[in-house]
Amino acid sequence: MTFGKFLVLLTVTFCFCSGCAGQKKPDGMPDLFPCQITITQNGTPLEGAAVIIFPKTGGSNGWNTTGLTNANGVAELMTHNDFKGAPAGEYVVMVTKTELSPSAVPDKAPTDPVEYEKWDMVKRSETRTTYRLVKAEFGVANLTPHSITVSQGKNEATFDVGEPIKEEMK
């Protein structure tokens, strides 16, 4: 697996994991402040993009802070997957969005056990192509031009990731 695919997988995992509402903050978690980042692509809201902030100092602060943009391009950042907001600090803003090529195998599994076994074998062996929909530079901490300073109070920023693209990831 390439680093790019690993980063996408890690991002998606962080963005889609959810915990129990009202969960107790882990020991040592700093205060969190509301952080809303809007992502546009060529001026149009970008839905379904993963947003990650990473400390500018280059080292992890131990608290992953991510969000997924909605139809308006807005990501409400969450820390440690379960807690609204971000710790205070200076961050680079990374943005990724990918899609898979369409599947040639129907999504609906057959109910007949013999047909299901055939379907499952074909589905598992299917190779699909992953496409990058945002330029790679926006998803790499030392290349992205975007940054945000999170401090007490509400933190909002808007970033554009340039022209739409569709590049095969290798």
Q: What confidence tens digit (pLDDT) does each residue in 111-145 have? A: 999 999 999 999 999 999 999 999 999 999 999 99
How many H-runs (helices) and E-runs (strands) does the chain carry? 2, 15
The whole-number average pLDDT for the span 88-100 is 96
> Which of 17-21, 40-44, 166-170 shows the lowest per-residue confidence on average (mean pLDDT)?
17-21
Indicate whether 23 belongs to any domain. Answer: no
Same domain, yes or no: 61 and 78: yes
pTM: 0.78
Same domain, yes or no: 80 and 115: no
Same domain, yes or no: 69 and 43: yes
Query: What's residue 26's pLDDT?
Result: 85
Indicate whether 24 belongs to any domain. Answer: no
Same domain, yes or no: 33 and 73: yes
Compute the distance between CA of residue 8 and CA of residue 25 in angstroms, rounded to an integer.
26
User: How many domains in the chain?
Assistant: 2
